[in-house]
Amino acid sequence: MEKLLATDRHIHGLYPHVDIWGFPISAYLFLGGLAAGILIFAAIYYLLGKEKEMPFTVKIGPLFALPIIMLGLFLLIFDLHHKLFVWQLFMTARAESPMSWGAWTLVIVSIFSVLWPLSFVDSIDEYLIKRGWSKMTRVTEAIIKFEHKWIIPHFIIMFFRKYRKFFAIVLLIYSIILGIYTGILLSAFNAHPLWNNPILGPLFLTSGVSTGSAFVMWLSDNHKERLLMSAIDMSLIAIELFFIVHMFMGMEAGAEAYKHAADLFLGGEFTAIFWGVFVGLGLILPFTLEALELRGFHIPTALPALLILAGGLLFRILMVSAGQISEYPMMP
């Protein structure tokens, strides 16, 4: 009798461990969280009536949300094997699929990231002139002319302006879902102990909102706006550190597979880069710099902001890479 021995030892990406997702997926998760953070702040401060005091947060920052989302989608499609069938993901809705939730959330958030800036187009044009970004005003002026010339775009924008408070609430809800989704997408993979963690969703959301505040700090020219975002970001970093510590404590108290997953960061191959580079340079150092700035010390605004943004990207690279290594032991 002939026996057939099936093995996965020679299948690329599966041995010695799953190694399918690389930098494009990590960057996609980072960009999704960044866009969510930018839009969350825009919606919150509009609902608080702060659009005049915080013009970049409410009006200008969301201009960058759509390009950020589009770049993330490009990286996602680039990573897919069957690129020509990606459209089917946006034609199917499955309530049990985190990927389906994410796809439709991205569609809704993308639509809002277009309509939201359009509803402020006059104010944005004035802001760009004050900042000296005259070349960009050609776009806003063309949009203003287009809006007044064609009745349907004008009606849509006027309708959005009239009910902007309602749409701000919807934008806030879906932006939060987008931020959480970037973590839930990983946590849905039960075969990988590091990802199979309920803290991952809130942790990724907090990290995304933190990068959103860093983005505003980096590009805003309003000193009070930057200081407020700096103070908020310090709180977000503290929450992020709490989630990280709590995540590893829970894993160390869990089953053997979770302990092995945690050990990747607690003495294993990811220890130095996670605690030294991500936590040290991406969280604690910018926290310290922001605290010094709030106390009146002159700190280059871009420094803590860029450290947070770089740290947010590195965090996702580490989680995606380590998660694919973590696995449950083979049954005898």
Give the number of other Cβ atoms within 10 Å of residue 188's Cβ. Answer: 17
Distance between CA atoms of 199 and 57, rounded to whole angstroms?
Answer: 28
Place of tokens 């959103």: 212
Give residue-wise pLDDT tens across range 223-265.
899 999 999 999 999 999 999 999 999 988 888 888 988 999 9
Q: Are 123 and 202 in contact (CB under 8 A)?
A: no
* Residue 16 pLDDT exceeds 70: no
Residue 3 has pLDDT above 60, yes or no: no
Residue 160 is classified by DSSP as H
- pLDDT confidence band for 129 (50 / 70 / 90): confident
Note the CATH architecture for domain 23-325: Up-down Bundle (1.20)
In whole angstroms, what separates CA 288 from the centre of its chain? 23
| CA 85 – CA 307 distance, rounded (Å) | 37
CA dist 271 and 41 (Å) reads 33
Split at pLDDT 50, 70, 90, the class of 10 is: very low
Is residue 233 classed exposed, middle or buried when 0-12, 13-18 and 19+ CB atoms within 10 A define those classes? buried
What is the arithmetic mean of pLDDT over 142-159?
75
Give the per-residue pLDDT at 217: 94
Which of 100-104, 203-207, 321-325 is predicted with the least confidence, judged by mean pLDDT? 100-104
Question: Quick check: 9 and 15 in contact, CB under 8 A?
Answer: yes
Whole-angstrom distance, CA of residue 28 vs CA of residue 191: 22
Q: Cα 199 to chain center, whole Å?
A: 16
Residue-level pLDDT at 156: 82
Domain spans of the chain, in order of start: 23-325
- Torsion angle of alpha carbons 15, 16, 18, 24, nearest 10°? -100
Q: How many CA atoms lie within 13 A of 160 on its CB side?
A: 20
- % of the chain beyond a pLDDT of 70: 85
